[in-house]
Amino acid sequence: MEKMPAKQYEMGSSTSTKSMQPQKFLHSKRIGHMDSFSRHEMMYDPPSMESKSMPRSSYFNSSKPWPDLESDESDMENEIDIDNLPPIEVGPHEHRLQYTYWLWFSRKGTHRATDYSKSLRVVGRCASVQQWWSLYSHLKRPTALHPYRDLSLFKQGIKPMWEDPANSKGGQWVIRLRKNQIDRAWENVCMAMLGEQFLVGDEICGVVLTTRSPECSLSVWNRTATDHASTTRIRDTLRRILNIPVSVPMEYKIHCDSLKYVAIKGPLKS
């Protein structure tokens, strides 16, 4: 597998802000089972980033306010009973995604590596294009998060943990970014996953954004590390989405190797 050099990847200048607009993405790309929709029906203007129009109850049937991702550790635990969440309803005029996704948040350092699951917190869920944009509009941009925070968007039923059965035999492509690049890259890769642009079917598990200082990383997780056709296609799609030159190597990490390393050496410095 390719190895990541010490130098951080610099996003190409040809990826303009205009090309990142969600309207254009939805107009030209496939979102879930949307092949039967007309081009006009696929158009959707996401809410303003300042919009608070959709309450949290749309996702959790709860009247609590939307969570502050930087709240104290005591607020991180047991906020939502994830085992008893009701199914997500999709309205008749919404564009259903091929999969339902859960958005997770975690803070590194709040628990021991062996207890990482306790730092995971569900922020929201989405099953349609409209629900995704409403959820997304309520969140801080990644550049506003403190260091050692993770945002993870994963398919329903999969936790962003190496040990999860869906991840245990898989791996991840990792891209290291400067902090001023992560907002755009995070949005691009999430939209590509929701829109099934990777074209590897059920192989994709989710996307993880890890904030560090001075650099951050973005990774795409898949189920089967030995499925070289799928891992290659994921890598090539990431290159296209983020305008990464073919001359820049990318790093693929196998989850079972990471687990073995942690068991012997202690937590990874990601």
- Of 229, 218, 216, which Cα lies nearest the Cα of 253? 218
- Cα–Cα distances in Å, from 23 out to 19, 27, 39, 40? 10, 6, 11, 11
**Prediction pTM value:** 0.73
Per-residue pLDDT of the chain (270 residues; tens, 9 = 90+): 444 443 444 454 433 333 333 333 333 333 333 332 222 222 334 444 333 444 343 444 333 434 555 554 434 444 566 777 888 889 999 999 999 999 999 887 544 545 667 778 898 999 999 999 999 988 888 888 888 889 999 999 999 998 999 999 999 999 998 888 899 999 999 999 999 999 998 999 999 999 887 788 999 999 999 999 999 999 999 999 999 988 888 999 999 887 776 666 655 555
Residue 165 β-bridge partners: none
Confidence at residue 264, expressed as pLDDT on a 0 to 100 scale: 66
**Integer Cα distance of 260 and 257 in angstroms:** 5
Cis bond before residue 147 (omega within 30° of 0): no
Name the residue type at position 237.
T
- Cα–Cα distances in Å, from 48 out to 134, 137, 138? 9, 7, 9
Domains and CATH numbers, the chain: 22-48+91-265 (3.30.760.10)
Confidence at residue 127, expressed as pLDDT on a 0 to 100 scale: 95
**Integer Cα distance of 249 and 203 in angstroms:** 22
**Integer Cα distance of 3 and 180 in angstroms:** 23
Return the CA Rg of the chain.
18
Confidence at residue 204, expressed as pLDDT on a 0 to 100 scale: 97
Confidence at residue 267, expressed as pLDDT on a 0 to 100 scale: 56
Confidence at residue 213, expressed as pLDDT on a 0 to 100 scale: 76
Confidence at residue 269, expressed as pLDDT on a 0 to 100 scale: 52
Whether 130 contacts 44, CB under 8 Å: yes
